[in-house]
Amino acid sequence: MSGFVHLHVHSEYSLLDGACRIRGLVRRAKEMGQTAVALTDHGVMYGSIDFYNECVENGIKAIIGCEVYVAPRTRFDKSTKSDMKPHHLVLLCKDNEGYKNLSKLVTLGYTEGFYNKPRVDRELLRRYSKGLICLSACISGELARTLLDGRLADAVTLVKEYREIFGEDYYIELQSHGISEQERILPYLLRVAKDPGTQLVATNDAHYVEKEDSYVQRVLTCIATNTTLDDKNSMQFATDEFYLKSEDEMKALGFPQSAYDNTVKIAEKCNVSFTFGHTILPFFKAEGYDNNEIYFNAQVRKGLVKRYGDPVPKEVLDRAEYEMSVIKKMGFIDYFLIVADFIGYAKRNGIAVGPGRGSGAASLAAYCSKAQNSTKVPVDYTRIRFVKKPNGAKPGMVIFTNNYTVLVDPDEQLFARVEA
């Protein structure tokens, strides 16, 4: 692995802030001989899959992360101006459990903590810290802001608190973009890091790939803040140093060697992998049965007897057996049982059940497993001349066109008369 890895990078998915296109970002990292690179967009993970696939295609390691927003108080406090100014914090996934936890944090930031920004808080960080590496972030991070306020003792306490949450996976970020605030707090960051067990890491908070791309990022910022390039009060970056620097450029900043070595150590810790092309469904727990297939078969057969009588007509039984074999082959047994469970709950509690449609909802297995106890079911119909049976198709399989849809209420007695 190379001697430096970028661990704090924003792409186009940091909307109206990041100017790194994912393809260009990954290819530039590869051109510079870097064997891994991270993606840490502001408060979102929208680009994670595109980024992962691009890294795989280019033969470098993808480090999945996010620069989350941490509420000054709690995620539920939404009443003051300070609540609208959350702190930045970088989280990186060590493994797939870390990816799940980061996804949960980002989701809860929107569903529970949103107030100007999607915000998490310390309580959530404690709950979902497993599998995550934490970096203290930029000058908008809580540690940097505390030091800029001159509260060194509070900064030491803050570092200890984050180390309690993340253990040896907490790092203090060092950055240098020619900004006075960064230079002011750098000696204090180094001082805080002297505490045993506290580690440093060098980052560049990259928002664009090449140095000359800073203009594009400035334009994006102006769009986001409804200002112009000439506006002295706009929130543009003070320098053009927020680009994807080479290893030599980063080491020229003069940070302690451990800060560079730790980028490689962190990259080696991060090993998220994705498997595509497989349907992943929740598991349904059937009480009193050895496995779900036995329970599913029992439910369908029970429904067949209830709806068609005992013995069940052979043609009905053959169709049910065929459908159950397809459902088993496709790995959809849990899906059918889950749908049957919430449909049954809704019916028992007087909750109106919406329409189901498609091959699943229309199947005999669904009907007999009580997954299709719906009202206002959409039924497609067409003239017989628009119905065709493909060559070699299995019994009951047809294609049709020029169809219309009507909503009907299922009637078991009418259904029985039609079947008869």
Q: Are residues 78 and 212 in the same domain?
A: yes
Contact 30, 54 (CB under 8 A): no
Q: What number is the average pLDDT over the span 350-370?
A: 63
135 within a domain of the structure (yes/no): yes
Domain-located, residue 42: yes
Domain containing residue 134: CATH number? 3.20.20.140
pLDDT at 277: 85
Same domain for 335 and 259, yes or no, is: no
279 is a domain residue: no
Q: Which amino acid is at 381?
A: Y
- 137 assigned to some structural domain: yes
**Residue 154 falls inside a structural domain:** yes
Q: Report the residue count for the chain.
A: 420
What residues form DSSP beta bridges with 134?
Answer: 91, 170
Residue 11: inside a domain: no
* Residues 297 and 388 occupy one common structural domain: yes
* Any domain includes 5: no
At a CB cut-off of 8 Å and minimum separation 6, what does 121 contact? Answer: 70, 71, 73, 74, 75, 113
Q: 120 and 54 in one domain?
A: yes
Please state the domain count of the chain.
Answer: 2
Omega before 311 cis (within 30°)? yes
More confident residue, 290 or 305: 305
- Three-state DSSP at 210 gives coil
Q: Answer whether residue 169 shows pLDDT above 60.
A: yes
C-alpha span between 30 and 34 (Å, rounded): 5
Give CA torsion, residues 205, 209, 215, 219, to 10 deg.
Answer: -70
| pLDDT for the residue 65 | 98
**pLDDT in the model for residue 27:** 97
Q: Is residue 207 part of a domain?
A: yes
Query: Rounded to an integer, what distance in angstroms lies between the CA atom of residue 193 and that of residue 171?
Result: 9
The pLDDT of residue 332 = 86
Q: Which of the two residues, 266 and 317, has the higher pLDDT score?
A: 266
* 165/30 same-domain check: yes
Q: Which band of pLDDT confidence, cut at 50, 70 and 90, is reported for residue 14?
A: very high
**Per-residue pLDDT for 3 more than 60?**
yes
Q: How remote is the C-alpha of 371 from its chain's centroid?
A: 30
Q: In terms of domains, do 165 and 235 share one?
A: yes
Place of tokens 């069940």: 312
Contact 186, 176 (CB under 8 A): yes
Confidence of residue 367 (pLDDT cuts 50, 70, 90): low
Over residues 17-27, the pLDDT tens digits come to: 999 999 999 99
* pLDDT at 91 (0 to 100): 98
Q: Please indicate, yes or no, whether residues 185 and 297 belong to a single structural domain of this protein.
A: no
How many other C-beta atoms can be found within 10 angstroms of the C-beta atom of residue 388?
11
Predicted pLDDT of residue 349: 87
Residues 308 and 228 in one domain: no
Name the residue range of residue 343's domain. 292-419
Q: What angle do CA 388, 391, 397 make, to 5 degrees?
A: 55
Tokens of 298: 């029992």
Q: Looking at the structure, do residues 314 and 219 belong to the same domain, yes or no?
A: no
**Is pLDDT at 393 greater than 70 in this prediction?**
no
pLDDT for the residue 388: 79
| Residues 55 and 104 placed together within one structural domain of the fold | yes
Contact status, residue 72 vs residue 85, Cβ threshold 8 Å: yes
216-225's contacts with Cβ under 8 Å and 24+ in sequence apart are 216/19, 217/17, 217/18, 217/19, 217/242, 220/16, 220/17, 220/18, 220/19, 221/16, 221/17, 223/16, 224/15, 224/16, 224/17
Instruction: Please report how the helices 152-166 and 180-192 are oriented relative to each other, as an axis angle in degrees rounded to 10.
Output: 60
Which residue in 166, 165, 133, 132 sits closest to 263, CA to CA? 133
In single-letter form, the type of residue at position 30 comes to: K
Same domain, yes or no: 109 and 228: yes
Q: How far is CA 396 from CA 13, 185, 285, in A?
A: 47, 74, 32
| 210 and 106 share one domain | yes
CA-based torsion, 162, 165, 168, 170: positive or negative: negative
Tokens of 122: 């310390």
Q: Please report which confidence band the pLDDT of residue 420 belongs to, taking 50, 70 and 90 as the band edges.
A: low
**Any long-range contacts for 155-163 (C-beta under 8 Å, 24+ apart)?**
155/188, 155/192, 156/192, 156/195, 159/192, 159/195, 159/198, 160/195, 161/122, 162/134, 162/136, 163/197, 163/198
Q: Does residue 219 carry a pLDDT above 80?
A: yes
pLDDT attached to residue 416 = 55
**Do the Cβ atoms of 359 and 330 come closer than 8 Å?**
no
